[in-house]
Every structure is written in C-alpha cells, then in structure tokens.
C-alpha cells in the first residue's frame, strides 16, 4: 500500500469508528495525569492510559498508575509520592461525582508514621488524580487490624489530655473586700485579686490558619491552612 493510499484510508477508518460507536475514551489519552510531589508541591505527571468510559474501571486504572510511583527518571528529577511502599488499591466505589477509595497500607505506616500533613498529602494526590474523571467528592480509607475501612485521620495517634484540675493560687486576698453589687449578673468590680494559672505570664498567639502542628514531612511547624 502506497503512502497516498494510506492517507486516503485514514479518514475512512476514523469515519467507521464514529459510525460504529467506538467510544473516544477507549482510545489512548496521553493527557491524563497523576500527581506526585517535588519540594512539597503537587506536580502533574502525564501517563498514557487507554480509558473505556466506565467511571469505576477508569478510576481503578488511573489509581493503579498513581500507586506504581514515579519512574526512576522522575525520581532523579526530584519527584516523590506521599504513599508508602507496598500501598495497594483494594477497591474504588463510584457514585455519581463521588468516589470512595480503599487503600491497603502497611499497618506499621498507619500506626507509626502517618501524621496530619502526610495524610493531607495522600488525599491530595488521590483527589487531584481523580478530578479529570469528573469525580469531585473523594474519600480515602485504609483497613485497620480487624479489616474495618476507616478514614486516614482515624489512625492519628491520640493526644494525651491531662485531667482538669484547679490551678494553684498563692496570691493573698485583697486588702479590702469588693463593693457589693447592685444587681446579680454585673461584671466584676475593682479590688478583686487576679487569679494565677498555667497561662500566667504567657502570650497566647491565635492564627486564622486553623492551628499549628509539627509536620515530619515538612520538618517544621505549619498551619493546617495557609496564612493569607
């Protein structure tokens, strides 16, 4: 077959595919992306995938590509995944624009290494990877020791909260009693002693960033949301 003949046949083949109803999603789509991290920022990486137009199957295909991790060349370029080695896809349940992603993650990672920033990074990878499929409400779960599927936040270590107690106050009583209040419910009057407690002499700093926590991933204190 000559080059001229091939050039004439190509439009005919494309037309036949349209007439026969071959879905466009079944063709290779090099623009699909998975997300990894470089210097703490999510980076889109293209993966050539042949999608079939079925949301559940397509979500499984692209998530397996994500779990495969960066290629050696991508690792050399500084890309890394927040997902631990040995992570496996157990199931994806798609309901309209929502998806529940069940991952098998090592229990040693879940119980000993996972913290808030790392969990956020895993969820961000999954959410951004599934977004081009029209899945905008995504929940990521992992199995505990008994096989129950739980949100990643369920595996965070529980903080030790001390039992409440009254603070010691060695300050003497004021020299004179406070004047009698004319009516109940009025604000305190002058002359009352100032109680002392754990915050005495401390400066309390409040942030609109939803609180500070230490991130082992970033190796610094950070807010749950950016300061802006």
- pTM of the entire structure? 0.60
Whole-angstrom CA distances from 20 to 14, 17, 50, 51, 53 are 10, 5, 18, 18, 16
Chain-wide mean pLDDT for the chain? 79
For residue range 142-192, what is the model confidence (pLDDT) as tens digits?
999 999 999 999 998 887 878 877 777 777 766 766 566 555 555 555 555
d(CA 49, CA 29): 6
d(CA 194, CA 206): 23
For residue range 104-141, what is the model confidence (pLDDT) as tens digits?
999 999 999 999 999 999 999 999 999 999 999 999 99
For residue range 96-114, what is the model confidence (pLDDT) as tens digits?
999 999 999 999 999 999 9
pLDDT exceeds cutoff 50 at 74: yes
For residue range 12-28, what is the model confidence (pLDDT) as tens digits?
433 443 344 444 434 44
d(CA 143, CA 16): 47
188-192 own/partner pairs: CB under 8 Å, 24+ apart: none
Any residues with CB less than 8 A from the CB of 218 and at least 6 apart, and which?
40, 117
Higher confidence at residue 56 or residue 209? 56
Whether 122 contacts 82, CB under 8 Å: yes
For residue range 75-96, what is the model confidence (pLDDT) as tens digits?
999 999 999 999 999 999 999 9
- Burial, 130: exposed, middle or buried (Cβ in 10 Å; 0-12, 13-18, 19+)? buried
- Other CB atoms within 10 Å distance of the CB of residue 1: 7
Would the CA dihedral through 45, 50, 54, 57 be positive or negative?
negative
């Amino acid at each position: 077959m000559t080059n001229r003949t091939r050039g004439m046949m190509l439009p005919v083949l494309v037309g036949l595919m349209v007439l026969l109803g071959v879905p466009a999603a079944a063709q290779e789509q090099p623009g699909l992306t998975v997300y990894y991290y470089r210097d703490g920022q999510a980076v889109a990486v293209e993966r050539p995938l042949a999608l079939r137009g079925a949301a559940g199957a397509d979500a499984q295909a692209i998530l397996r590509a994500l779990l495969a991790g960066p290629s050696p060349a991508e690792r050399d370029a500084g890309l890394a995944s927040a997902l631990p080695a040995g992570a496996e896809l157990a199931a994806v349940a798609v309901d309209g624009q929502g998806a529940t992603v069940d991952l098998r993650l090592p229990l040693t990672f879940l119980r000993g290494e996972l913290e808030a920033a790392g969990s956020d990074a895993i969820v961000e990878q999954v959410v951004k990877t599934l977004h081009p499929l029209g899945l905008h409400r995504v929940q990521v779960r992992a199995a505990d020791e008994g096989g129950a599927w739980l949100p990643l936040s369920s595996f965070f270590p529980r903080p030790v909260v001390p039992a409440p107690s009254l603070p010691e106050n060695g300050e003497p009583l004021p020299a004179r009693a406070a004047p009698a209040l004319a009516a109940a419910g009025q604000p305190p009057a002058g002359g009352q002693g100032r109680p002392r407690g754990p915050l005495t002499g401390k400066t309390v700093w409040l942030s609109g960033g939803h609180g500070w926590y230490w991130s082992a991933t970033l190796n610094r204190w950070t807010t749950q949301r950016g300061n802006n």
